[in-house]
Chain A
């Protein structure tokens, strides 16, 4: 079992899976690998435990694995996949990145059969060896390009569940993947540009200037692209938005914070965002199918312009 990348999501997979099998983590920094091997990986929040993992920053020292999970941000995926090239050619590899296009990037670097996945888990990193598990929501997974028997996907799902995570296997992930894509494209750039976490404003429609109109317009454009691409959505992204906002309001009432979408975190820390993989991917799909998406195009332009400032 190998996890590439130990940010929030990678750490959550690695720690939970380490409870049931041997896990090695491939990270970029040597001191990160040393710290993980010395101190283990601590999970707090929804679950509380300390996991023991192997870790290395050198791909050549990675032991053979049956299942690899590439859990870097989409912006780091190309580099991560290149480092994995030549390792465990018989393994199944799972991509978990936001947006579209992760599978093609990994495919270019190795022959592994691929599992497409999206996750709604979230958490907060408190240093190299401690992750707080915030939202214990599902990972959705399915075979990529129907080259992989569904049973292999279901085995991976069972593994995640035995480790204590929630997961669901689909024969065709695209409906779920696109639901999440449209949800992310409607929420993340708006959060990044307004500096607002995913609060009630995102679903507010009472006044004509309320933000819910923009989010709703973005969802509508996204749904038209999905329809043109022949994808029947698994869930209505607007309902996902309303649901997530309500969950955030309940959390706020209990003293927790509303969820800060990763793109807002990126903008606040002046890191490159995943805008090209989320909104950019949707705009490119729209172009391929001749669907006008003026709102998504405007948000892509604004976020890219924002990034150009640093």
Chain B
């Protein structure tokens, strides 16, 4: 089996290095960071933190160099999905492409460029330490399922999930992965946007009465949009919110959108609260709070995205 990771940042690297442990999987990585690509080709891709491992794989900044692949795993930030998948689409002509990105709306963009698409949601998290080196912060499961409008086969979903699991990333093949995706989306939309606008850590957001009340109202809107689509959440996003707020889990975690705002990077707001508002509009559900949070974060970005 040949797999290409599209976007070898923290999450992409976790999949790349783990899959590279398997004798029957050949791993490629497409990434635009040439120092990172050179280090991977020279020394392998090193993971440290939750586990220590080095993956041997081939990396390139040039999508034309990619061979035909059975699977693609897209892990770029959501605003780069279209450009990255369009550039690499030729390698996936006969393969299936899976998103392990945040939020909702990425599969729709991938399906504009490739035939068979897998919906995916992943909980493991990490951070880039330097070229060829990624820190693994949090372990967690990954859920895969066919993307309904342009689906990969159940067999393909199972095959990829099996490889990830054998490589050390526990992954579940589902008939409908929307429940896991929307649980994470609803959770993320509340924690990230409120974090970005208030500067608070996840734990503070969960314990301060004002933000707790707001987070719960924002999650209620997300639930209503999921309900309208017939999505059954696999677990409660509210429970996930409280679990993550524990001291020993992620009380001090600064939501990634807050980190983006502090570093003046573009955020993934369009794929989080913006996606909830967008799907809400399509399914006739009012989402005034998610819309308001999306507009406020856009306002915050405006200074450095213009």
* A interface residues (Cβ-Cβ under 8 A, vs B): 190, 193-196, 201, 209-211, 213-214, 217, 294-295, 298-302, 304-306, 308-309
Contacts and interface: CB of A to CB of B under 8 A. Distances in A.
Contacts of A305: 194, 198, 200, 205, 208, 210-211, 214
A259 to B, nearest CB: 16
B209 to A, nearest CB: 9
A209 B274 contact: yes
Given A209-B274, A298-B289, A309-B200, A195 B300 contact: yes
Contact of A302 (B197, B270, B288, B294): B197
B198 A213 contact: no
Given A211-B295, A298-B217, A301-B214, A217 B288 contact: yes
A214 B193 CA distance: 15
B211 A301 contact: yes
Contacts of B198: 302, 305-306, 309
Given A209-B294, A302-B198, 15 more contacts: A193-B299, A194-B300, A195-B300, A201-B302, A211-B296, A213-B295, A214-B296, A217-B292, A298-B214, A301-B213, A302-B197, A302-B211, A305-B200, A308-B204, A309-B198
B296 A193 contact: yes
Interface of B: 194, 197-200, 204-205, 208, 210-211, 213-214, 217, 270, 274, 288-289, 291-296, 298-300, 302-303
A309 B288 CA distance: 26
A295 B292 contact: yes
A214 B290 CA distance: 11
Nearest to B195: A305
Nearest to B294: A209
B300 A294 contact: no
A301 B291 CA distance: 16
Given A301-B213, A302-B198, A294 B289 contact: yes
Contacts of B204: 308-309
Contact of B210 (A210, A213, A295, A301): A301
Contacts of A304: 210
Nearest to A307: B198
Contacts of A201: 299, 302
Listed from nearest, the 5 A-B pairs whose CB atoms lie closest are A194-B299, A301-B210, A305-B198, A214-B295, A301-B214
A299 B295 CA distance: 12
Contact of A193 (B210, B270, B291, B300): B300
Contacts of A193: 197, 296, 299-300
Contacts of A214: 291-292, 295-296
A209 B298 contact: yes
The CB with the most chain B CB atoms within 10 A, among A194, A213, A299, is that of A194
